[in-house]
Amino acid sequence: MKQLPHAELLQLKRWNTPTIYNGWEQITKHDVARSCFNLEETKDFMPQMGPMVGYAVTIVIEPSNSKHKENSSAGQEYLHYIASIPGPKVVVVQDLDKPMVLGSMWGEVNSNRHRALGCVGTITDGAIRDVDEMTNAGFKALARRLCVGHAYATPVSWNCEVEVFGTIVQPGQLIHADKHGFMVIPPEDEAQLLEASVFMDQNETNTVIPAARNTYGKTSEEILLALSEAGKAFSEAVIGKFGKKGEW
């Protein structure tokens, strides 16, 4: 699995997920209205930790079904899979009990174990618990809700395609996530992602944002003119860089 340089992943982590989206939409051939990001609402239980960036490792659980405990080797086999993948990693968990929530695979112990194996956090369409202890471990979580128990949250399958929050995730895909939601970056878009995101952010701060903020002493007509000119400058820069018009 080819990964971006670690330094580039650290730079991606400096930007929020909407900024990454702004860059991604300029370079992708995918549908920017309904692909590659969560279609259902998520909740970031550690927003103070900022964005998380890593490559997806995947697992399916079904906490309601006690029969999964009969596979006594599943837990160790799953952890060996996690350990075999280079970090940073984001654990993407599909909970087959959805829309019910009966138990969580996450808590103080599991978050510390996964952190030790190079995982920076999780996206689960089920639940988490021990939220303070998970935060203390430095393990970020986007989930549907909190719960009190673990029930039978043993691994059912792993290293497979999963669907969370209405979005398909393949093992090894680059994940960018924060309090706004998450993005699953197509492999062909990874190489240009950072440059495009930085360009779009700088384009905003060079054009439309200062036009909207620098209004002291101006009439409404002058403000409207400045906003119009800034929008044109923004679009011209995007066309010059990517060959297509941006949102303004």
Task: Give CA separation, 97 vs 26, 103, 127, 223, in Å.
Answer: 37, 9, 11, 53
For residue 248, what pLDDT is reported? Answer: 60
Q: Do 90 and 57 form a contact (C-beta atoms < 8 A)?
A: yes
For residue 244, what pLDDT is reported? Answer: 80
Q: If you write DSSP's letter for every residue of 37-90 in order, what string do you get?
A: B-SS--EES-GGG--EEEEEEEEEE-TT-GGGGG-TTHHHHHHHHHHHS-SSEE
For residue 246, what pLDDT is reported? Answer: 65
DSSP 189: G
Mean pLDDT by 10 residues, the chain (248 residues): 90 98 96 96 97 98 93 95 96 96 96 98 97 97 97 96 98 98 97 97 96 95 96 95 77
